[in-house]
Each structure stands twice: as C-alpha cells, then as structure tokens.
Amino acid sequence: MNFTYPKNERLKSKTTIGLLFSEGKSVSKYPLRLVYRQAEADSEEKIKMGVSVSKKYFKRAVDRNYFKRVLRETYRLNKHLLWDNLEQPYSLMFFYQTKDKLSYEEINTKTIQLFEKFLQQINKTTDSETKTEI
C-alpha cells in the first residue's frame, strides 16, 4: 500500500460534488463528517476524496488551509482502511465541523474512527440489499 494522495484521487468535478450534496449519505464522528456516494462502476479510481473546512468557523484562510492539510494527511495515512475493505468505487467529501482547534493526534484518531463507522454503515446497507434480493 502506497501512502500517497495523487491528483487522480482528488474530487474536483462540480457535478460529482453536487450529486454528493443532493444524493449522498453521511457519517459523523465529532468533529468530522464524511459525505459519501457510490460512484459509477466505470470510474478509474476506487476513491475520489475532497476536503472542506467551513469559513463560518475559521474566518482566516491560514487556519482553514491548516486544517485542510491535516485532513488530507490523516486521509493519506489511513486510506488503506478504506482501500482494503471497499469493492465499489466511492466519492467522498471530508469535513471539519467545529470551532475547536484539535491537535493532529486527536484528528487522526477521529479519522480512523470515522472510517470504521463508514465501513460498518456500508456493510449494513449492502447486507440489507442482498437480503431483499433473496
């Protein structure tokens, strides 16, 4: 597993981001939130990830950019949790939603918990879909 975050994994498409907000589902682990949507099967990447920090909580761009860097780094180091357990491609948007300035270690721990919660939710929905098909 390589711990990189290449350009082709970054979520940039305005239409995909719009679909995430209109049709996506959400998982939260304070202060982080993950909005996700299953991507098209012909997608070249398994995961497309975007990061956002609210201007409402951090008025200065320096502060927003710092937390975006931290979120990208925690994703980069923990993405193996997602890659090893996902069969379908997904589009994800990662949010930092609090005024509190948490340390890197706290954000990293919350990211791991959030990814585990996301995988549990994905497994529940796929299990319920297979039960209804039978």
Give the amino acid at 22.
S
The pLDDT assigned to 44 comes to: 77
Q: What is the rounded CA–CA span in Å between residue 103 and residue 100?
A: 9
The pLDDT assigned to 14 comes to: 93
- CA proximity to 65, closest of 48, 53, 76, 57: 53
104-127 pLDDT, tens per residue?
Answer: 999 999 999 999 999 999 888 767
The pLDDT assigned to 125 comes to: 76
The pLDDT assigned to 108 comes to: 96
Domains and CATH numbers, the chain: 9-115 (3.30.230.10)
pTM of structure: 0.87
Stretches in the chain below the pLDDT threshold 50: none
Q: What is the rounded CA–CA span in Å between residue 34 and residue 11?
A: 13
